[in-house]
Amino acid sequence: MPHLTLSDARVRALKPRSASYDLRDATLRGFGVRVLPSGAKRFFIHIQHRRTRVWKTVGDAGALTVDEARSRAASLLAAIRGGAEAPPESTRFESVAESVFRHHARVWKPQTLYVNRNYLHRQILPWFADFSVADITRADVRRWFASRRATPVAADRSMPILSVILTEAERMGYRPEGSNPCRGIRRYRRKGRERALTDAEIARLAAVLAAHETKRPLEVAAVRLLLLTGCRKSEVLTLRWSDYREGRLFLRDGKSGPRTVWLSDAARGVLDAVGRTGAWVFPAWRKQGPAGAVWLRPFWHRIRAEAGLPDVRLHDLRHTHASFALRRGESVLAIGRLLGHASARTTLKYTHLADSMVREAVETVGAVLGDTDR
C-alpha cells in the first residue's frame, strides 16, 4: 500500500478504479484516504491496537481539507492509543454483514443463504467494503443503487439484503434506531417475467411430453407434476415417497414451511405411474439424494423448443396453474393456499393473469348491450 505525504492537490488528483484503494499518509501513521469506485473519497484511520484492528472513517474528503482530517485523525489515534475504546461506529460493514449472515443461517434456508451470499459478494461488498457501518448514508445507498442500473434484477434483489444488514446494525447498536438508509428507495421498474400458457400452448406441450414419455419417463413426470400441482421446482424435485400418502403431498420443508398439497386425479396418476426405486421420487443417478433442478433443465430446454415455447421457464408452469385457478373463479386466499404463499401480497401479483378474462367479459357484455336489433 503506497505511502505519500497527503496534500489537498494529491487527494483531488486521485481517480477511481474498479475497486476501492487506499493511499496512506507518510506524515501521520495510521491515517490515509480511501478512493471508492463511485469516485467518493474518505479519510480514515486504521491501526492495530491491543490485538484488535480499529478502522474508523474520519470524514469525507470533499468536506475536509487534508490538514483538518489529519488533525482529527491525530486526536482519534491518541485517544485509542491512550486506552479509550473505539466507538461502535468503527465497526466495518463487512464484519457486520458476516455477523448478520451467521445469525440468519438459522433462519434462511440453505439455498436462500447461498443466493444471498452471492449477491453480497458480487453486488454489495465491492462498493461498501471498508465503510464504517454507521457512516453509510442515504446518498451512499442511492449512488450504489444507481451504479447497478445496467443489472436491475441483481440490484432489486440485493437491496433487501443490504437493508437487512443495516437494520441488524441498528439492533446491534452500531447505528441509531430508524436510521436504515435503504427505506423508501424505489426499485427499478422491470417488465414482469410472469408467463402463463394458453390452452393451445398446453396442448402443444402435452403432445411433446407424450412423445418423450417412453424414453424419458421421470423427466416427463416431473414436468407434468409441476403443471398439475403448481408446486415449486425444489418442492417437486426433492419429493420423497414418504411425502406422498393419502392422495396428498405432505411437504416437510417448503419455502414457506411445511404444507399439504391436495392432488387431483391426474397428479396422483402421474405419481402412481412412477416406479419406486428408492426413497426419492426423482433420485439422482450417481449419488444418494434427489436429482435436483440441474438434472431437469436440459430436458426442459429441449421440449420447450420442440413445443415452440422458447421463452417459457419451468417456473411459468406454476403461473399457469395459478391462471387456471383464477379462471375457475378461485379466490386469492384459495390460490395462495394452493401455491403455498405465506402472504396474500405474494398471491396478488398473479391477478394480472386474469386480464384476459376481464377483456373477454367486456367483449361479451358489449356484444349483448350493443345488439340494437333485439
Mean pLDDT of 75-84: 75
Q: What is the pLDDT of residue 287?
A: 73
Closest CA to 270 of 281, 255, 257, 278: 281
3-state SS, residue 207: helix
CATH (domain of 16)? 3.30.160.390
Q: What is the pLDDT of residue 349?
A: 55
Residue that is last in its domain, among 33, 66, 86: 86
Mean pLDDT of 5-32: 91
Q: What is the pLDDT of residue 337?
A: 55
364, part of any domain: no
Query: What's the structural domain count of the chain?
Result: 3
CATH (domain of 160)? 1.10.150
**Pair (104, 45) in one structural domain:** no
Percentage of the residues of the chain whose pLDDT score is greater than 90: 30
268, part of any domain: yes
Q: Cα–Cα distance between 160 and 28 in angstroms, integer?
A: 39
State which of 9-13, 89-93, 148-152, 292-296 shows the largest mean pLDDT: 9-13
The larger pLDDT score, comparing residue 251 to residue 222, is at: 222
Q: Which residues contact 101 (CB under 8 A, 6 or more apart)?
A: 113, 116, 117, 120
Kindly give the residue spans of alpha helices, DSSP state H, lying in 7-57.
8-13
The larger pLDDT score, comparing residue 159 to residue 90, is at: 159
State which of 72-76, 115-119, 185-189 shows the largest mean pLDDT: 115-119
**Pair (82, 100) in one structural domain:** no
Confidence of residue 372 (pLDDT cuts 50, 70, 90): very low
Residue that is last in its domain, among 86, 118, 147: 86
**Pair (120, 62) in one structural domain:** no
Q: Cα–Cα distance between 349 and 343 in angstroms, integer?
A: 11
Assess whether pLDDT exceeds 60 at residue 361: no
Cα→Cα distances 114→108, 157, 205, 289, 306, Å: 9, 13, 33, 19, 33
Assess whether pLDDT exceeds 90 at residue 318: no
**Pair (230, 335) in one structural domain:** yes
3-state SS, residue 59: strand
Strand order in the sheet with 248-254: 244-245, 248-254, 257-262
**Pair (204, 353) in one structural domain:** yes
25, part of any domain: yes
Instruction: Check if the beta carbon of residue 134 is closer than 8 Å to that of residue 89.
Output: yes
* Per-residue pLDDT tens over the stretch 159-185: 999 999 999 888 876 777 788 999 988
**Pair (72, 112) in one structural domain:** no
Closest CA to 70 of 130, 145, 146, 10: 10
Q: Cα–Cα distance between 269 and 342 in angstroms, integer?
A: 28
Q: What is the pLDDT of residue 220?
A: 94
The larger pLDDT score, comparing residue 358 to residue 169, is at: 169
**Pair (156, 220) in one structural domain:** no
Q: What is the pLDDT of residue 369?
A: 45
Q: Cα–Cα distance between 292 and 237 in angstroms, integer?
A: 6
Confidence of residue 365 (pLDDT cuts 50, 70, 90): very low
**Pair (113, 77) in one structural domain:** no
**Pair (28, 127) in one structural domain:** no
Residue that is last in its domain, among 86, 106, 129: 86
Q: State the average pLDDT for the chain.
A: 80
Q: What is the pTM of this model?
A: 0.53
Assess whether pLDDT exceeds 60 at residue 86: no
Q: What is the pLDDT of residue 1?
A: 55
Cα→Cα distances 59→24, 71, 72, 319, Å: 15, 12, 9, 50
Confidence of residue 315 (pLDDT cuts 50, 70, 90): confident
**Pair (215, 273) in one structural domain:** yes
The larger pLDDT score, comparing residue 56 to residue 328, is at: 56
**Pair (115, 255) in one structural domain:** no
* Per-residue pLDDT tens over the stretch 190-221: 555 667 888 899 899 999 999 999 999 999 99
Domain of 113, in residue numbers: 93-171
Instruction: Check if the beta carbon of residue 6 is closer than 8 Å to that of residue 27.
Output: yes
Confidence of residue 12 (pLDDT cuts 50, 70, 90): very high
Confidence of residue 235 (pLDDT cuts 50, 70, 90): confident
Q: Cα–Cα distance between 344 and 332 in angstroms, integer?
A: 7
Q: Cα–Cα distance between 143 and 193 in angstroms, integer?
A: 27
188, part of any domain: no
Give the phi and the psi of residue 258 in degrees, each rounded to 5.
-60, 140
* DSSP string covering 318-373: HHHHHHHHHHTT--HHHHHHHHT-SSHHHHHGGGGGGHHHHHHHHHHHHHHHT-TT
187, part of any domain: no
Q: What is the pLDDT of residue 248?
A: 87
**Pair (305, 290) in one structural domain:** yes
Choice among 86-90, 141-145, 166-170, 251-255 with the minimum mean pLDDT: 86-90
Encode 35-67: b = buried (16+ Cβ within 10 Å), e = exposed. Answer: bbbeebbbbbbbbeeeeeebbbbbeebeebebe
Q: What is the pLDDT of residue 188?
A: 79
